[in-house]
Chain A
Protein backbone atom coordinates (compact mmCIF):
# COMPACT_ATOMS: atom_id res chain seq x y z
CA UNK A 1 0.00 0.00 0.00
CA UNK A 2 1.34 3.40 -0.95
CA UNK A 3 1.01 6.39 1.33
CA UNK A 4 1.77 10.05 0.84
CA UNK A 5 2.43 12.65 3.49
CA UNK A 6 2.33 16.42 3.26
CA UNK A 7 3.68 17.61 6.56
CA UNK A 8 2.70 21.26 6.24
CA UNK A 9 -0.99 22.11 6.36
CA UNK A 10 -0.21 25.78 5.63
CA UNK A 11 2.75 27.64 4.17
CA UNK A 12 2.85 31.45 4.15
CA UNK A 13 5.27 33.47 2.03
CA UNK A 14 5.47 36.94 0.54
CA UNK A 15 4.89 37.58 -3.12
CA UNK A 16 8.17 37.20 -4.96
CA UNK A 17 9.60 34.77 -2.42
CA UNK A 18 10.64 31.25 -3.30
CA UNK A 19 8.66 28.37 -1.84
CA UNK A 20 9.01 24.65 -1.31
CA UNK A 21 6.05 22.42 -0.54
CA UNK A 22 7.01 19.07 0.91
CA UNK A 23 5.77 15.64 -0.02
CA UNK A 24 7.02 12.29 1.27
CA UNK A 25 5.83 8.92 0.12
CA UNK A 26 6.01 5.35 1.24
CA UNK A 27 6.08 2.51 -1.25
CA UNK A 28 8.61 -0.15 -2.07
CA UNK A 29 8.22 -0.43 -5.82
CA UNK A 30 7.98 1.77 -8.90
CA UNK A 31 5.64 4.67 -8.46
CA UNK A 32 4.15 7.62 -10.22
CA UNK A 33 4.33 10.92 -8.35
CA UNK A 34 2.37 14.01 -9.24
CA UNK A 35 1.26 17.40 -7.98
CA UNK A 36 -2.10 19.09 -8.39
CA UNK A 37 -3.32 22.58 -7.56
CA UNK A 38 -6.79 23.52 -6.32
CA UNK A 39 -7.92 27.11 -6.22
CA UNK A 40 -10.69 27.89 -3.75
CA UNK A 41 -13.99 26.28 -4.72
CA UNK A 42 -12.60 24.84 -7.94
CA UNK A 43 -11.58 21.45 -9.25
CA UNK A 44 -8.01 20.18 -9.16
CA UNK A 45 -5.58 20.93 -11.98
CA UNK A 46 -2.59 18.82 -12.88
CA UNK A 47 0.80 20.53 -12.42
CA UNK A 48 3.46 17.91 -13.12
CA UNK A 49 4.44 14.27 -12.66
CA UNK A 50 7.45 11.98 -12.36
CA UNK A 51 7.92 8.32 -13.15
CA UNK A 52 11.49 7.88 -14.27
CA UNK A 53 14.44 9.72 -15.78
CA UNK A 54 15.53 13.20 -14.80
CA UNK A 55 14.57 13.59 -11.13
CA UNK A 56 13.74 17.27 -11.64
CA UNK A 57 10.53 17.75 -13.57
CA UNK A 58 9.16 21.01 -14.87
CA UNK A 59 5.51 21.91 -14.69
CA UNK A 60 3.27 24.79 -15.62
CA UNK A 61 3.58 28.34 -14.33
CA UNK A 62 7.20 27.98 -13.22
CA UNK A 63 6.69 25.07 -10.85
CA UNK A 64 9.16 22.24 -10.64
CA UNK A 65 9.53 19.20 -8.41
CA UNK A 66 12.45 17.00 -7.52
CA UNK A 67 12.26 13.28 -6.87
CA UNK A 68 14.58 11.79 -4.27
CA UNK A 69 14.57 8.04 -3.78
CA UNK A 70 16.89 8.23 -0.78
CA UNK A 71 14.60 10.69 1.00
CA UNK A 72 11.35 9.22 -0.38
CA UNK A 73 10.38 12.73 -1.33
CA UNK A 74 8.89 14.69 -4.20
CA UNK A 75 8.99 18.33 -3.11
CA UNK A 76 7.42 21.08 -5.20
CA UNK A 77 9.27 24.37 -5.69
CA UNK A 78 8.82 27.74 -7.26
CA UNK A 79 11.49 30.42 -7.45
CA UNK A 80 9.21 33.45 -7.26
CA UNK A 81 5.56 33.15 -6.27
CA UNK A 82 2.73 35.33 -7.50
CA UNK A 83 -0.47 36.14 -5.63
CA UNK A 84 -2.34 33.90 -8.07
CA UNK A 85 -0.39 30.92 -6.73
CA UNK A 86 -2.51 31.06 -3.57
CA UNK A 87 -4.21 27.68 -3.53
CA UNK A 88 -4.12 24.22 -2.00
CA UNK A 89 -1.51 21.89 -3.42
CA UNK A 90 -1.94 18.13 -3.40
CA UNK A 91 0.76 15.54 -3.86
CA UNK A 92 -0.39 12.20 -5.26
CA UNK A 93 1.16 8.76 -5.65
CA UNK A 94 0.21 5.66 -7.58
CA UNK A 95 1.99 2.40 -8.17
CA UNK A 96 0.11 1.73 -11.41
CA UNK A 97 -0.16 3.58 -14.66
CA UNK A 98 -3.92 3.62 -14.62
CA UNK A 99 -4.65 5.85 -11.62
CA UNK A 100 -7.15 3.36 -10.23
CA UNK A 101 -5.48 3.79 -6.87
CA UNK A 102 -4.24 7.33 -6.97
CA UNK A 103 -3.64 8.33 -3.37
CA UNK A 104 -3.64 12.01 -2.48
CA UNK A 105 -1.96 13.73 0.43
CA UNK A 106 -3.97 15.97 2.71
CA UNK A 107 -2.89 19.07 0.86
CA UNK A 108 -0.86 22.16 1.72
CA UNK A 109 -2.48 25.56 1.59
CA UNK A 110 -0.12 28.15 0.14
CA UNK A 111 -0.85 31.66 1.36
CA UNK A 112 0.77 34.55 -0.48
CA UNK A 113 1.09 37.82 1.42
CA UNK A 114 1.41 41.07 -0.52
Chain B
Protein backbone atom coordinates (compact mmCIF):
# COMPACT_ATOMS: atom_id res chain seq x y z
CA UNK B 1 0.00 0.00 0.00
CA UNK B 2 1.10 3.54 -0.73
CA UNK B 3 1.80 5.94 2.10
CA UNK B 4 2.45 9.66 2.08
CA UNK B 5 4.19 11.42 4.93
CA UNK B 6 4.59 15.14 5.46
CA UNK B 7 6.92 16.88 7.87
CA UNK B 8 6.87 18.84 10.05
CA UNK B 9 3.31 18.57 11.29
CA UNK B 10 3.34 22.19 12.43
CA UNK B 11 5.72 25.12 12.69
CA UNK B 12 5.74 28.61 14.05
CA UNK B 13 8.30 30.73 12.23
CA UNK B 14 9.35 34.36 12.20
CA UNK B 15 8.92 36.65 9.22
CA UNK B 16 12.09 36.63 7.16
CA UNK B 17 13.22 33.21 8.34
CA UNK B 18 13.71 30.25 5.95
CA UNK B 19 11.30 27.36 5.57
CA UNK B 20 11.51 23.80 4.36
CA UNK B 21 8.53 21.44 4.21
CA UNK B 22 8.95 17.86 3.12
CA UNK B 23 6.85 15.11 1.64
CA UNK B 24 7.73 11.44 1.04
CA UNK B 25 5.72 8.85 -0.86
CA UNK B 26 6.34 5.18 -0.31
CA UNK B 27 5.03 2.26 -2.31
CA UNK B 28 4.47 4.09 -5.58
CA UNK B 29 6.97 4.38 -8.40
CA UNK B 30 7.24 7.65 -10.35
CA UNK B 31 4.13 9.35 -9.00
CA UNK B 32 3.00 12.82 -10.01
CA UNK B 33 3.53 15.05 -6.99
CA UNK B 34 1.72 18.21 -5.96
CA UNK B 35 1.89 20.98 -3.38
CA UNK B 36 -1.30 22.77 -2.37
CA UNK B 37 -1.77 25.69 -0.01
CA UNK B 38 -4.94 26.12 1.99
CA UNK B 39 -5.72 29.46 3.54
CA UNK B 40 -7.75 29.85 6.72
CA UNK B 41 -10.92 30.19 4.69
CA UNK B 42 -10.38 26.75 3.22
CA UNK B 43 -9.78 27.48 -0.47
CA UNK B 44 -7.19 25.17 -2.03
CA UNK B 45 -4.54 26.66 -4.26
CA UNK B 46 -2.26 24.44 -6.31
CA UNK B 47 1.32 25.69 -5.99
CA UNK B 48 3.57 23.22 -7.82
CA UNK B 49 3.46 19.88 -9.51
CA UNK B 50 6.13 17.46 -10.66
CA UNK B 51 5.92 14.66 -13.18
CA UNK B 52 9.44 13.37 -12.74
CA UNK B 53 12.62 13.74 -10.70
CA UNK B 54 14.28 17.09 -11.14
CA UNK B 55 11.35 18.71 -12.92
CA UNK B 56 8.92 21.02 -11.15
CA UNK B 57 6.24 23.22 -12.68
CA UNK B 58 5.07 26.32 -10.88
CA UNK B 59 1.35 27.10 -10.93
CA UNK B 60 1.34 30.31 -8.88
CA UNK B 61 4.07 32.58 -7.62
CA UNK B 62 3.99 33.01 -3.86
CA UNK B 63 7.70 33.55 -3.22
CA UNK B 64 8.03 29.82 -2.71
CA UNK B 65 10.03 27.19 -4.54
CA UNK B 66 9.80 23.44 -4.85
CA UNK B 67 12.22 20.68 -5.72
CA UNK B 68 12.04 16.97 -6.36
CA UNK B 69 15.47 15.59 -5.47
CA UNK B 70 14.32 11.97 -5.47
CA UNK B 71 11.50 10.03 -7.08
CA UNK B 72 9.70 9.74 -3.77
CA UNK B 73 10.45 13.16 -2.27
CA UNK B 74 9.01 16.63 -2.80
CA UNK B 75 10.32 19.68 -0.95
CA UNK B 76 8.70 23.11 -0.56
CA UNK B 77 10.92 25.95 0.59
CA UNK B 78 11.62 29.64 0.79
CA UNK B 79 14.53 31.68 2.07
CA UNK B 80 12.36 34.45 3.54
CA UNK B 81 8.94 33.87 4.97
CA UNK B 82 6.14 36.40 4.69
CA UNK B 83 3.10 36.71 6.94
CA UNK B 84 0.99 35.70 3.95
CA UNK B 85 2.69 32.30 3.89
CA UNK B 86 0.72 31.22 6.94
CA UNK B 87 -1.66 28.39 6.23
CA UNK B 88 -1.96 24.66 5.72
CA UNK B 89 0.31 23.02 3.18
CA UNK B 90 -0.78 19.79 1.59
CA UNK B 91 1.29 17.39 -0.45
CA UNK B 92 -0.44 14.93 -2.76
CA UNK B 93 0.41 12.24 -5.28
CA UNK B 94 -1.48 11.08 -8.33
CA UNK B 95 -1.16 9.14 -11.55
CA UNK B 96 -1.34 10.22 -15.18
CA UNK B 97 -4.52 8.24 -15.59
CA UNK B 98 -7.37 8.33 -13.15
CA UNK B 99 -7.29 11.92 -12.04
CA UNK B 100 -7.37 11.00 -8.35
CA UNK B 101 -5.17 12.67 -5.76
CA UNK B 102 -4.01 11.15 -2.49
CA UNK B 103 -3.15 13.70 0.15
CA UNK B 104 -0.85 13.74 3.12
CA UNK B 105 -1.96 14.97 6.52
CA UNK B 106 -0.59 18.44 5.92
CA UNK B 107 1.83 20.85 7.57
CA UNK B 108 0.43 23.82 9.41
CA UNK B 109 2.55 26.97 9.23
CA UNK B 110 2.11 30.06 11.35
CA UNK B 111 4.30 33.00 10.47
CA UNK B 112 4.65 35.65 13.18
| Chain A residues packing against B (C-beta within 8 Å) | 32, 34, 36, 41-46, 49, 51, 88, 90, 94, 96-102, 104, 106-107, 109
On whether the beta carbons of A46 and B99 are closer than 8 Å, the reply is no
On whether the beta carbons of A97 and B105 are closer than 8 Å, the reply is no
Please tell me which one of the listed residues A43, A51, A109 contacts residue B106 in the complex, with CB atoms under 8 A apart: A43
Please tell me which one of the listed residues A42, A100, A101, A107 contacts residue B42 in the complex, with CB atoms under 8 A apart: A107
| Chain B residues packing against A (C-beta within 8 Å) | 32, 34, 41-44, 46, 49, 51, 57, 90, 92, 94-106, 108
* Bound-complex Cα distance A39 to B49 (A): 24
On whether the beta carbons of B46 and A102 are closer than 8 Å, the reply is yes
On whether the beta carbons of A99 and B34 are closer than 8 Å, the reply is yes
* Bound-complex Cα distance A41 to B44 (A): 14
On whether the beta carbons of A106 and B49 are closer than 8 Å, the reply is no
